[in-house]
Structure 1
């Protein structure tokens, strides 16, 4: 009788674990389906740039000047110099799903290193990988090696994060991430190795999706050149110095050789997050623009 009771309890426990595994698999499948949706990806890019982005259609009348490359997206986000009213992207040339990673239910607390710096993995986020392999003349060493590892490899760059809030003049992330005179520790490009700093409301971009009806936060995940990075007095602020006397061409060269976004992190907002869920809407963008302009006269 005792053996029968033990057997029944063990069978019940195994059943519970199977149900939990099925639930995790269902959630993972839902997460992958949602974040791989082409329409959601288009909305993410539109919210980050604050401009219209459409899928590229070869049959449509689109000039090459309107096709958004990963390189241009990188520069527009860091320097805020996009003058094209409407962009088009070819998804297969822009995103690299092979390197996507689902951190939303991360339970592994192992300490990781990247570029000989502590890498705090973005628990709770999903990474949409950008197609950056082979984009730079110095090769792909800055990215390190593919796959799980806790250690650094020679030549790779540390990881940093930044948001793109238009109201970022208050702190680490400035308006459109533009290099400007009012930066806290000098003129240049700021990012942070601390995902929690980048996650703060003032720094992360938020928007509400027409595709899913849900609200999201968005942050860029970068690699940063340790030879060109300055660690500020606050060690969770990293700076790429940019002198205001440099030309536009020189500024572009500094950016491309110093900090490179390789993934877009996205996280679904809950009702208790307390974030501005309309920041990605037209009204939210106008409000942010007003706030940014108003800050110039503060």
Structure 2
């Protein structure tokens, strides 16, 4: 169902954490033709019923399910009504199969006539596809470049920036082409800011909020260059105390702005996502030499 530039180009890639209480759906309902539903049900039945290692209660359960749609309330999976409607079946995100959220789509498969909307929450729409794609977006590891690179000094402004070649928009497209339903949506994540947390209260950030916003050219922060030693970095840190024999854990978190579009051009916004990581920073005392 999913395709696109789903992975970041950094050393590692991670999933976005939505800002706020919102999470992508862990389950949804999608359509099956009568033949598709019959094939899926028969395969599931054979897999359990003909397995001697399966307990009797499992075999009874799949038999009751099969009989309901083949010889009970419905006849032969409504194959005689093919072209008149479709079965809508609960589907769980394989990455969150056992979560409580994934169990909320607990409605048994139901028949919907063509032209009528399925009367159930989380029935697949372009926006639901976009929300599902959100969970497949992978962004680069948030390892920032620093100058000085290996170790900085107490009271020395340390410049910080992100590699513009790696931190660029990434997209994932989700498609559904089944039982006469053909829809798709593309979810795009765009980096918009970098949050710096020094790992100690004995530090100052540039800017003071620690939030480095994106520049006009898509970069975040600015690489240090010769001749800038007396300048204040647009994005950076100044440590006020040595890290001693250890290091400080500098945490860098990138906020990604999320939007989506469907094939017809409509779309909207989804909650921002964040992804961060920590890296060790050594801070040394400035050594004075008396002559």
The two structures have a TM-score, normalised by structure 1, of 0.21
Q: Highest relative contact order (Cα 8 Å, sep 6+), 1 or 2?
A: 2
Q: Which has the larger radius of gyration?
A: 2
Q: Higher helix proportion, which one?
A: 1
Q: Higher strand proportion, which one?
A: 2
The two structures have a TM-score, normalised by structure 2, of 0.22
